[in-house]
Structures are given as C-alpha cells and as structure tokens.
Structure 1
Amino acid sequence: MLQFEQDEQELLEGLIEAIGGLPEGQAWIEGREVTVAPRGGRVDAIVEAMIAGRSLQLLIEAKREAFPRDVREAIWQLRNHLAHQTGLDREVVPFFVARAISPGAREILREEKIGFYDLGGTLYIPSLSAFVYIDRPVPRKTTRALGSIFQGQRARVVQEVFARRPEWVSVKQIAEDAEVSPATASDTLRDMERREWIEVEGSGPSKLRRLCAPTPVLDAWAAFLVDQKPPKVRRYYVSCANTDELARKLDRACRDADAAYAVTGEAAAQAYAPYLSSISQLRCRIAPGPSQDRALEVLDARRVTEGWNLGVIETKARGDVTVGERIDGVALAQPLQVYLDLLQGSGRAKEMAAHLREERLDR
C-alpha cells in the first residue's frame, strides 16, 4: 500500500507539472481520498486547475498500470461521482492517471471523454473550454511492465491460448500444455482478461476462457518486439542439397537423440503459407541439454560465422520448444511463434510474417 501511495503521489506531481507547462496553466492538489458521493463514494484525489484562464476541477482515479477492463471499471466509478457534482462554478472533468496506460485503454478513455495522464507525459483533457491532447509513447520502463505478459513462462501461456482458439480452455489444460504452474497460468489468464483479449464462462474451479480478440494480441506482441533484442542464434553448416533435405536430416537426428525440436522462421512459414520460391537457411529450436548436443553431433553440424544453413535459437527450457504441426514429417513451431520469429528476422522475413499472419493468424 505504501508503495502505491508513493506511485500515486508521483503521478499527481507529474500531472500538476504537465498542466503547469500549458499556456497559462497551473494546478494544485485540493484533496486526497475525498468523499464525493453518497454511501462513501471517494475519488483518489481532486486537482484544481487553470488553463488559459479557465477554471477546471479534475476528479482523479489512480492505478499503477491500466488495461481496458481497469479503465472500464474506473469510468463507471467516475461517471457515478460526476453525477453527484452539482452547484459548482467551474467545469468538472473525470480524470484517470496511471504509470502506464495500454493503447486499448487509451482509446476507451478518449471515446468516453475521460481525461488521462501517464508518466510518459501523455495528457488528455477533454474540457469544453480548454481541450488538451499531448500524445507521447509509453516510456521504456513502463513498456516492460505492459509487455511482461510476452516474456518467459507467461508468453507460453498466451501462445497456448492463441493456438487453441476458439476453444474454451481451463487453467489446468493450459498449465499442462504450456508446461507452467497452475498459478502462472491463472495469473496470465487474469491479465488477458484485463486486456479484454479473452472471454470467460463459469466461475470457480470450472471457470473456462477462450480467446475472443486475436488481432489485439498480435498487434500488442508485435509492438513489444520492436524494442527487444532478437534471441541469440548459434549458426552451423550441415552438408545437404537444400533446406528440405536439411529439415529431414534434422528430424532424424533429433529423434535419434531424443531431442524435442521445432523448425521456425522462413522455412516454417514457407510450409504453413508458401510465399518465396526457395529458402536457403533453416532456423529451429532444440530443447537444451545433452540431447541437443547429441542431435548436432548426429547431424555433423559445424559451427560457423558465415555460410551457415542451420540456425539454432537459444532456449532455456524444454517448454520453449512448442510444436504446432508436422508437415512432410517435419515438426514446425506454432504459427504464432513463427510469426514472432520472422518479425525479428532480416531480409524478407517481415514480408513473410505479414503473409503468414494474413493466411493463418488473422482469423
């Protein structure tokens, strides 16, 4: 609680400074935890402001980070508070502040004419007399908070839910398939609910979810990857005529070594949704450990810096290797994983990503 109070104070100070930077702008905190409605209805703060000679009162609701479901709840509360503000000599503006506000949440707030501010400096005041909109990108520090769902074990949960669309799934199913703990699966699904990516049926242990918004998932993940370093890739040369032969040799070697693997990148995209006439390199993931070493030994893969035809993407756990389909006897990563890997590729990889998304993911 103490930490959140410090966050809230930082947000209010940032808001006051931002308003102070407007023409003839000034603002001050009139009160904290103020009762504004019958039955104890309270706002986190009231801020008095002057902008271009016009007086405003901001009714403030504060959160650490905000996603669509969070702001919908706040909007309902603010509308209720606003209904009880009568007899004032200045305009009252319902207002929302958070360290980071997701793009979807920002859109909802604008549509509902609710003012908002975040620590990136974005400021929206939909006043009748002094309309203000300063749009700034989410700061890198808070981008990590919004994007944590796309990292580590939580990312595997999102992938499994996406792969099972439009099925209804349980926490138990997702935890087993993603090879994560039920707690991780449950927390991630709850986060997806906040973002309004999934819909819910039932309650308690029998509660089920299913993906209802694949496009926002793809857009948000793609935006998150823009500032991320591509995964490390170890490059090898394997003697073979082409990537089709290489893929078959990889499959035999991994079966002999009992190593889980999945082909990704251009070669997998070509199998899922043909786009190019030929592919010269093959990227894959192989479960880490002694079995990976044995598979590469069976392949007689030679480590190189140039002239490579086999790239092995670094993995940390067996669960990082997920198989979508087997085509022509070769295990391919899930289409979503292939899409994400292509987005971090070079050459014509991004073109292939767009084609794969259109053919296999935007449905």
Structure 2
Amino acid sequence: MKFELEERELLDGLIATIAGLPEGQAWIGGREVAIGPRGRVDAIVEALVAGRPLQLIVEAKREAFPRDVRETIWQLRNYLAHLPDSDREIVPFFVARAISPGARDILREEGIGFYDLGGTLYIPAKQAFVYIDRPAPRKSSKIFDSVFQGQKARVVRAVFARRDAWLSVKQIAEETEVSPATASATLSEMERREWVDVEGAGPSKLRRLRSPRLLLDAWAEYIADQKPPKIERYYVPGADADGLAQRLDQACRHADAAYAVTSDAAAQAYAPYLSSISQVRCRIVPGPRQRDALETLQARPVSEGWNLGVIETRARGDITVGERLGGVCLAEPLQVYLDLLQGTGRSKEMAAHLRAERLEA
C-alpha cells in the first residue's frame, strides 16, 4: 500500500512536470497494464510534448542504483517487443524517488526515459527530446551518500585498499572492526552500484573491486558537496615540513598517540609533485594523548602563520595508516586523495597527480 501511494506520487509528479513543458500535456492511460503473455507494466502515460504525441511505458521503483535499472531495462525491452504497432512514438520509461548518477548514465546510454522527485526529466524521443537535470531529493541523497559515511566508509576503504583481492564479509568485518551485518550491507550496496564483481553465493560469496575509477568518481562527487572537516592550526617553532613530520612522529610515539599525516605532505611522500611543502596536516587520536603530543611539540595555537594542522577526529578508527615512509606514518592514499580534494591552493592538482600515480595505477 505504501509503495502504491509512492508510485502514484511519482506518476503525478511526472505528469505535472510534462505539463510544464512547451505545449505539454500528460495523463495516465492505464495502471498495471498486461503486456505480452506474462508481463505487466506499472503504468502507461499518454503525453504531448511540443504538440508531438508520445506514449510512455513506465516502470517504477523507490530508489535506483545501476543493478536495479539494468533489470528494469530488460523488462522494458520485453514489453516493447510485445506491443502492437502504433501511430505514436513509444518511449520506455523509468520513474523512482531518486536515481543514482551511475543509474542515470546507464538509462541515457540505453535510450530509456526517466523521472525522479527531484524534478529530473529525460525523454529521448526522436521528435521531442527533453532533458532537465536536477539534483536528487535531499532525503534520497542521504541514502546514496551513506556508503561514504561512518562505519560503511571504513568498509569501502578496506575494499579499495585490497582492490585486487576477493574478499568475504567475514574478512572485511574483522579487518575493519565493524559488525558482519554492517560489512554485508555495505558490500551489497557496492554490488548494487556495480562497483564490485561477485563470485559464489550465500556465506561463501566473495566480492572484488571492479573499477577504482567508478568508486573514486563517486566519492569525489560526494566530497565536493561536503564542508571541509574542522582543523586546529598550530605553530611549531624551528622546523621545516620534513623536520616537523619527524618531530610529530617522535612526539606521538612518546605520548602513545595514534596519528597519520595526510594532505599535501603525505601526497608529496607517496607521489612527489611540488618542489617544497610548508605545512603538515594530520589526524591524531583525540583526548589526553593528543594533548600530550602537542605539548611535547611545543605547538602553539594560532590563526595565521601555522605549520601544523590537526584535523578533527572523532574516534580511533578514523585514523588509518597506509605506509610508514621516511619514519613517518602516512594516511592511506585514498584518504590523502579525499583530503586534498577539500584543500586549497594546488591541493586539487596534487590530488589528480596522486590519483593517477597511486590510486588508478
């Protein structure tokens, strides 16, 4: 019953959006219409766009990721094969409360029209082409973005870090210290987005990252809409960036404080790009141990002229070390890349260089 109400809301929104087009009209021609020996399409919508008659063969879902729309495309193709000849152009069509960017790309490539509650409308008709591109509704955006937040993000990072390996739910749960339920749910989401290949079924099911590029593009798009994390700025006397990183390591070891250098300084260590670095950004485990490390460094809080930035960290699990180079603990390359994307100056150039050298290689 709830989905029937949502489906009606989607169809009403589609009809209203088409009505707002030049010489646009639309109305429901039928619901749950039988097509072929076993098919039943969710709705048929009759429409006029710029005076051109169209018939939309509509399938509906709540939210849509790439795997969802691939299944629906097959259904729509099957419906079209069983439709009689018509004097109107027939357009296979998909509606959902929200459609992920990857799913939108697939629908466009396959010539399938689509609409979501954010107001996005795509009608690939031969004589009445329409494309209105708008962001997904805020509530649904949270669903799409949840995989980049909290414990799910730790799972995604782990899959990326071991992108050449086939991984089980148990392995990922143990490595990331999340519950098997969280690991399973995250891997299932990655599967729906077609970020991973799948082997086996049930408890023995394994996944492996399919394409670093797809994951990096999606995470970069998410990061672009987020506020940069809070950073506390300090001045540490008598040290260039390399020397400061070494002293940071000594101070954190003395305080038994987990830490990881990130952003420009880490990118320069992983994939040298600039001639010099003047600042060090890092994460240090919050609490008394962080305070002890900063006291050992004689770090003085400042608003300008800083050379040490400590990025806000909520929990120990947020600090992940990729490699130890030159006696300094560096954040994982993926985390460094994401931090660079939120940086200033030449940070985005360094991000592109690091991605090419370490993340997509």
TM-score (norm 2): 0.94
Task: Show the counterpart of 1:334.
Answer: 332
Inter-partner Cα distance in structure 2 for 1:332 and 1:6: 51
Letter in 2 for 1:320: D
Letter in 2 for 1:94: P
Deviation at 1:278, TM superposition (A): 1.3
Deviations 1:129-175 (A, max 9, x none): 43322333445554333222111111111111111111111112222
Inter-partner Cα distance in structure 1 for 2:239 and 2:85: 83
Task: Show the counterpart of 2:110.
Answer: 112
Inter-partner Cα distance in structure 2 for 1:17 and 1:289: 54
Task: Show the counterpart of 2:271.
Answer: 273
Shifted more, 314-323 versus 22-31: the winner is: 22-31
Task: Show the counterpart of 2:37.
Answer: 38
In structure 2, the residue corresponding to 1:359 is in which secondary structure? helix
Inter-partner Cα distance in structure 2 for 1:8 and 1:56: 21
Letter in 2 for 1:241: A
2:156 maps to which of 155, 158, 162: 158
Letter in 2 for 1:34: V
Task: Show the counterpart of 2:95.
Answer: 97
Deviation at 1:273, TM superposition (A): 0.6
2:124 maps to which of 119, 123, 126: 126
Task: Show the counterpart of 1:319.
Answer: 317
2:200 maps to which of 199, 202, 207: 202
Inter-partner Cα distance in structure 2 for 1:277 and 1:362: 24
Task: Show the counterpart of 1:17.
Answer: 16
Inter-partner Cα distance in structure 2 for 1:210 and 1:313: 31
Letter in 2 for 1:221: W
1:294 maps to which of 287, 292, 295: 292
Which segments of 5 or more consecutive residues in structure 1 lack a partner in the other structure?
none
Shifted more, 272-281 versus 294-303: the winner is: 294-303
Shifted more, 199-208 versus 81-90: the winner is: 81-90
Deviation at 1:313, TM superposition (A): 0.8
Deviation at 1:55, TM superposition (A): 2.6
Q: 5 Å matches for 1:184-199?
A: 184-199=182-197
In structure 2, the residue corresponding to 1:147 is in which secondary structure? helix
Inter-partner Cα distance in structure 2 for 1:229 and 1:208: 35
Letter in 2 for 1:38: P
Taking only the aligned residue pairs, the percentage that are identical comes to 74
In structure 2, the residue corresponding to 1:58 is in which secondary structure? strand
Deviation at 1:50, TM superposition (A): 2.0
Inter-partner Cα distance in structure 2 for 1:128 and 1:171: 46
Inter-partner Cα distance in structure 1 for 2:255 and 2:61: 51
Letter in 1 for 2:246: R
Which segments of 5 or more consecutive residues in structure 2 lack a partner in the other structure?
none
Inter-partner Cα distance in structure 2 for 1:336 and 1:6: 42
In structure 2, the residue corresponding to 1:38 is in which secondary structure? coil
Letter in 2 for 1:56: L
Deviations 1:269-304 (A, max 9, x none): 000011111111111111223322222233232222
Shifted more, 235-244 versus 86-95: the winner is: 86-95
Letter in 2 for 1:78: L
In structure 2, the residue corresponding to 1:277 is in which secondary structure? coil
Deviation at 1:88, TM superposition (A): 4.4
Shifted more, 213-222 versus 55-64: the winner is: 55-64
Inter-partner Cα distance in structure 2 for 1:220 and 1:156: 16
Deviation at 1:311, TM superposition (A): 1.0
Deviations 1:170-220 (A, max 9, x none): 112222222222111111111111111110111111111111111111111
Shifted more, 264-273 versus 151-160: the winner is: 151-160
Task: Show the counterpart of 1:222.
Answer: 220
Deviation at 1:359, TM superposition (A): 0.9
Task: Show the counterpart of 2:305.
Answer: 307
Deviations 1:97-125 (A, max 9, x none): 12222222122112211111122322222
Shifted more, 192-201 versus 43-52: the winner is: 43-52
Task: Show the counterpart of 1:51.
Answer: 49
Deviations 1:3-43 (A, max 9, x none): x334322221111011112222111123333332323x322
Query: What value does the CA root-mean-square deviation take over the aligned residues?
Result: 1.8
Letter in 2 for 1:151: Q
Letter in 1 for 2:20: G
Relative to structure 1, is the Cα distance of residues 85 and 155 closer, same or farther in structure 2, using a 3 angstrom cutoff?
same
Inter-partner Cα distance in structure 2 for 1:54 and 1:134: 18
Deviations 1:238-282 (A, max 9, x none): 223212221112112222222211100100000001111111111
Inter-partner Cα distance in structure 2 for 1:294 and 1:200: 46
Shifted more, 233-242 versus 86-95: the winner is: 86-95
